[in-house]
């Protein structure tokens, strides 16, 4: 007859320790990956900046063709440490005569400011049209979500007549 031998306590403890270490390594790396914010793009600017630990009114501005960005809040300038995918963009706004114009943001420490985005504690933000890689993005000031549009004229129409954005949102008061 074959003799059955049970696992010793030491063998069981070693197996439990190996499984625990494996679990800890796998899930800690997954948690780090999920907490790091995605790169800022025209479609996630407001959401990404509202999700941060920064509260109150603030401004994101970028220099060196949006390779270096900063957060300005309460007269303090802090470098923005996460990825930014806003290189080679052009920002447009619509004036009171309903004409689009390219925005010139001026300079910061003798560097041309390539992008400036204000976000406020109530969730509203700068209204703008962004052109990046021959794509156009309309960023509304408060109601609706940023949208990819086919042309500058289509973005201008959304700016002038925002009723399509707020019609079904339920946010209008």
- Structural domain contains residue 7: no
Cα–Cα distance for residue pair 155/169, rounded to 1 Å: 19
Side-chain-side CA neighbours of residue 47 (13 Å) = 13
- Structural domain contains residue 114: yes
What SS3 state is found at 15?
helix
- Structural domain contains residue 1: no
Q: How many other C-beta atoms lie within 10 A of the C-beta of residue 117? A: 22
Extract the tokens encoding 131: 């052109």
- Structural domain contains residue 39: no
pLDDT digits (tens, 9 = 90+) for 116-143: 999 887 778 889 999 998 899 999 987 6
Provide DSSP, 52-98: SS--SSEEEEEETTTTEEEEEETTEEEE--S-B--TTEEEEEE-TTS
Question: What mean pLDDT is reported for the chain?
Answer: 83
Side-chain-side CA neighbours of residue 53 (13 Å) = 3
Asked whether the beta carbons of 60 and 45 are under 8 A apart, the reply is yes
Has residue 110 got a pLDDT over 70?
A: yes
The band of 35, judged by pLDDT with boundaries at 50, 70 and 90, is low
- Structural domain contains residue 37: no
The pLDDT value recorded for residue 31 is: 66
The pLDDT value recorded for residue 173 is: 43
- Structural domain contains residue 35: no
Structurally, the chain folds into a number of domains equal to: 1
The pLDDT value recorded for residue 172 is: 46
Q: How many other C-beta atoms lie within 10 A of the C-beta of residue 64? A: 12
- Structural domain contains residue 113: yes
Domain that holds residue 159: 45-166
More confident position, 34 or 147: 147
Alpha helix (H) residue ranges in the chain: 9-35, 45-51, 152-160, 163-166
């Amino acid at each position: 007859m074959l003799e059955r031998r049970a696992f010793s306590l030491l063998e069981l403890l070693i197996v439990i320790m190996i499984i625990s270490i494996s679990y800890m390594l796998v899930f800690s790396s997954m948690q780090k990956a999920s907490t790091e914010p995605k790169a800022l793009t025209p479609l996630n600017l407001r959401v990404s900046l509202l999700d941060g630990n920064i509260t109150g009114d603030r401004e994101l501005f970028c220099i060196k063709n949006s390779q270096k960005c900063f957060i300005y809040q309460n007269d303090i300038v802090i470098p923005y440490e996460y990825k930014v995918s806003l290189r080679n963009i052009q920002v447009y706004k619509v004036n009171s005569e309903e004409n689009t114009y390219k925005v010139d943001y001026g300079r910061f420490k003798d560097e041309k400011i390539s992008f400036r985005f204000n976000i406020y504690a109530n969730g509203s933000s700068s209204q703008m049209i962004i052109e990046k890689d021959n794509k156009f993005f309309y960023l509304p000031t408060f109601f609706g979500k940023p949208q990819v549009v086919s042309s500058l004229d289509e973005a201008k129409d959304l700016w002038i007549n925002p009723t399509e954005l707020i019609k079904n949102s339920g946010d209008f008061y």
